[in-house]
Structure 1
């Protein structure tokens, strides 16, 4: 919409003809503008040092300096947005030069009120259009920067040309930090996914496929993994200032969803494990009692054969396994209440400080500030933390470092225990959470998994570049369920 007037807009008038100056001053004031009258270029330049003008009426034939030269200097100083040239001659040269300088309009003396009115109307139209464009750009900018998605523009050489403010909340880097590093995008893809993702984008640019979508893991500034889906926003490709092909895309953080899916998988595994374990324990116990009992009878009768020792030893081992099954299936009751996860971590470290100091282990805490309270069982989560810290201490040995970090996502809390490992990578990491394997001092890790399940939580294991990490994830609960009796599901 075009407005009739633009209040408070200063307009510069530079003309050595007093009649023209008076006419322009009267019309401009009537229109609601604030005219500033000058008769010489020197005075106009002096005023422009401290003033800015939305429009300037400049006579081409001025004493001491041409209007064309004056307009150039005003533009260079940025003190005038638009220029309307006034001339009393019909020289085509002046008109051509005025156009080259970016003249907004042209008035030839003598001009009428109607011609001046049309000139001002054109200025108001352009000003209104500029304001609409600026408003649209601001709305678009605010929309893009405010989205909870990471919006980016990726060039064909796999360099990011643009990224929005979500890079700070999702990956821990400001847009400026991202843009200034040419290989930032490829460097922050997890090393196991990097070659696949880079080949995907390279083939996408080489082909004429309009859209794209892939998933990968990105590395946060603090080292944690961000599970993400990378997809195109528009099927149209564009060119940057250098003429290189670019695509617009978005990165969706699905870390919470991945942890939720893992939670559901673990729940089903535990349900199956509980049913099988109860059946196995029941079926084994009766014949095991008979085998052990008869073997001990034979030993009492003086039969000290080596085979009897083997039978008794293996029977004892089976009894210990059954004991683990019994303990694993024992009902647990939890009392959920508002707790600070950071405080529970610090208290667990205090309790284990003698063991940690004896092993000369350094503990580095990176606790999320202003972390919301979680509805958990304080004692149960404390037991989980103690088990995981003890497990890390045993794996680290003397003089190592244990890194403990708390994180808060949109739907869950995360607690990470990370340390370096000298052991070879595990072929079957899932066996860590089985309560029946020999070799451990206790069933700490399986117990952690089971205790976390009572609070709808999960535990995951990862090996990355010589480090092992156990990550505990707990959902955000708005309504505390209170006391929850938990028992492993059995068929």
Structure 2
């Protein structure tokens, strides 16, 4: 019991019995309330909410059995003890059926026996509350943990799944449980047979477990990367079958994203260093070549070769200037801004272009309702460029989407859409070295994101192209968290 005084209610039509019990239990530290009949006893119970109730079976207006039945409906976890002088076994059985926790006969020869019954009832009630609280905490943990937890039965069907199925794969719990093969159907076809075999092996051998990275199919058709892991059973005794396999699926999309961005950015960093060195080595002889070409042009204006040399030298000079501009730092004016607001402002600016193309992007920006501390103009430039590039690549009646999520201290924005035709070389879209084409703005976007401490990548698969940009949250930047790449 807690530090407060435990509260006892005694319901008995004999005043002497009530007063005797009250005096004894008050001496033991209880706060005691009395009621002379069942009706007033229930009224007192609802008003005072005692920790334990003592009930006589034979009372006017409402007998003890009805009181017990009402108490069981009102407060099943509150212990009730019958204190009756009938002494008939049948009455005791009926009392237990009605909800009594114990039975003490009158006259009470030893009040210590009553006190012992009360203490045991309170202890039992405390254990029941602790068990129920633990069960509630366990259920709450299982339902709200950011993992998909499942139970797979011997009938090779889904028996249990938590609410993580919606977060990870877009299905409600009811939808998942309504399809026995739902779990296997969500596994990518290339890995489905292997997963089925592992689940069956775990059913046949309780000592067996497995863990594997796999691809899963989201309700919207996208690929979700996760780790599928079985949970070993503590009741395993040797290599015996078990009734079902329990396991979990953990989303590792953020981790893979950061790993890919790290590799990509490292390549760009290395390429930038090499490019700077090459540009430096080329510029000196280029100036000499350009100078000689100008002198030749002045001396022999009709010589076409001299004009060609000068033109190519100028083109190479522009190429070197593009490398220089790409490597130069960007001036920033960071302020706290909500990423979702930046995206919506960009869509509003591009509204006429999108409307003219007959495109209404699908939006899911709940994950972007987070403050980032960045330059809003730079963010807007990047988002606008990604939307325009995606719009230009759309086939007739093609679909576009902007989806945001947060994790690992970053806001991740995906700008994607259908493609009329794939990009010939997806690895080159962020490189600044092509003299023309539609990707001129993308190298600038990549450089801007790098200056913000974020990252960007491009993927294409199945006739769809997707840009992913990651921007650090304001709290992560203030805490000094490193960029994702």
Settle same-fold status: TM greater than 0.5: yes
Correspondence 1:169-318 to 2 at 5 A = 200-209=198-207, 211-216=209-214, 227-231=225-229, 235-236=233-234, 244-247=243-246, 249=248, 251=250, 253-277=251-275
Deviation of 1:380 after TM superposition, in Å, equals: 3.7
What's the Cα RMSD here?
5.3
Change (3 A) 1:176 1:97: same
The answer on 1:35 being equivalent to 2:31 is no
The answer on 1:161 being equivalent to 2:160 is yes
Assess if the C-alpha contact under 8 Å between 2:206 and 2:232 holds in 1: no
Deviation of 1:6 after TM superposition, in Å, equals: 1.5
Assess if the C-alpha contact under 8 Å between 1:403 and 1:417 holds in 2: yes
Q: Which residue of the partner structure matches residue 386 of structure 1?
A: 384
Q: Which residue of the partner structure matches residue 73 of structure 2?
A: 77
Q: Which residue of the partner structure matches residue 483 of structure 2?
A: none
Deviation of 1:161 after TM superposition, in Å, equals: 2.9
Q: Distance in 2 between matches of 1:466 and 1:143?
A: 40
Change (3 A) 1:392 1:337: same
Change (3 A) 1:76 1:142: closer
Q: Distance in 2 between matches of 1:401 and 1:123?
A: 66
Q: Deviations over 1:126-169 (max 9, x none)?
A: 2343344455556656766776x4373533356363536x7777
Secondary structure class of the residue paired with 2:393 = helix
Q: Which residue of the partner structure matches residue 322 of structure 2?
A: 327
Q: Distance in 2 between matches of 1:248 and 1:399?
A: 41
Change (3 A) 1:391 1:324: farther
Q: Which residue of the partner structure matches residue 410 of structure 2?
A: 412
Q: Distance in 1 between matches of 2:176 and 2:101?
A: 40
Q: Distance in 1 between matches of 2:438 and 2:425?
A: 19
Deviation of 1:197 after TM superposition, in Å, equals: 5.1
Q: Deviations over 1:7-28 (max 9, x none)?
A: 2x43444x6x665455445545
| Structure 1: 5+ residue stretches without partners | 482-491
Deviation of 1:38 after TM superposition, in Å, equals: 1.9
Q: Which residue of the partner structure matches residue 6 of structure 2?
A: 6
Deviation of 1:319 after TM superposition, in Å, equals: 8.8
Q: Which residue of the partner structure matches residue 476 of structure 1?
A: 473
Change (3 A) 1:328 1:236: farther
Residue 104 (structure 1) aligned to one of 87, 101, 104: 101
Assess if the C-alpha contact under 8 Å between 2:217 and 2:223 holds in 1: yes
Which structure is richer in relative contact order (CA contacts within 8 A, separation 6 or more)? 1
Secondary structure class of the residue paired with 1:335 = coil
Q: Distance in 2 between matches of 1:329 and 1:233?
A: 55
Deviation of 1:355 after TM superposition, in Å, equals: 4.0
Across the two proteins, how many residue pairs are aligned to each other? 454
Change (3 A) 1:121 1:281: closer
The answer on 1:126 being equivalent to 2:143 is no
- TM-score, length basis structure 1: 0.68
Q: Which residue of the partner structure matches residue 430 of structure 1?
A: 427
Assess if the C-alpha contact under 8 Å between 2:166 and 2:173 holds in 1: yes
- TM-score, length basis structure 2: 0.69
Deviation of 1:103 after TM superposition, in Å, equals: 4.3
388-397 or 107-116, which deviates more:
107-116
Q: Deviations over 1:232-283 (max 9, x none)?
A: 6665269xxxx952526473x5444333322321122113323555677789
Residue 440 (structure 1) aligned to one of 432, 437, 445: 437
